[in-house]
Amino acid sequence: MPMEIRELRAGDAAILGTAPPGEVFDNDIDEFAARDFLADPRNRMVVAIDDGVVVGMVSAALHIHPDRGRPELWIDEVGVAPGHHRRGIGRRMMLAMLDIARRSGCGEAWVLTHRSNAPAMGLYNSIGANAEQEDAVMFTFHLDAGDMGDGNEGAG
């Protein structure tokens, strides 16, 4: 049976349970979170299924903002099981996700990675993405860690 690239929809959460632990996703699949993710109409997920097992995924979300006329697609994560690297699976899933973005009316899709992540840089360049030349900085707020400061630091 050939590898299948498909978009998951509400009701498909059980499919994610076939992914080998720690190979496609960063953590084990939480059944309830998977169901909620797929039920949310702004979330999108494309998977690669080989012989009944999820061996790759791209997760994304439609981003709507009041000063933009069209939605954008924020691509959150791309993962392929190590035994399936260098087979074009990431490329096929990304092209499927970009097609979903077009059908959803998006004018733009974007993804973040580190310049040192050579496989990701190669993938995104190979499908026509434009790497921004500016140095982007991502800040992470660990909301459960109590490290939010007292609010007097100011922004900027």
State what percent of residues in the chain have pLDDT above 90: 67
pTM for this prediction: 0.85
CB-count burial class (<10 Å; 0-12, 13-18, 19+) for 94:
buried
pLDDT digits (tens, 9 = 90+) for 109-123: 999 888 888 888 888
* Confidence band for 58, pLDDT divided at 50, 70 and 90: very high
pLDDT digits (tens, 9 = 90+) for 137-155: 777 788 886 655 555 555 5
The CATH fold assigned to 4-126 is: Aminopeptidase (3.40.630)
The full set of domain ranges for the chain reads 4-126
Q: What is the pLDDT of residue 153?
A: 52
pLDDT digits (tens, 9 = 90+) for 90-112: 999 999 999 999 999 999 999 98
- E strand segments, 8-52: 43-50
What CA–CA distance (Å, rounded) separates 15 from 43?
A: 16
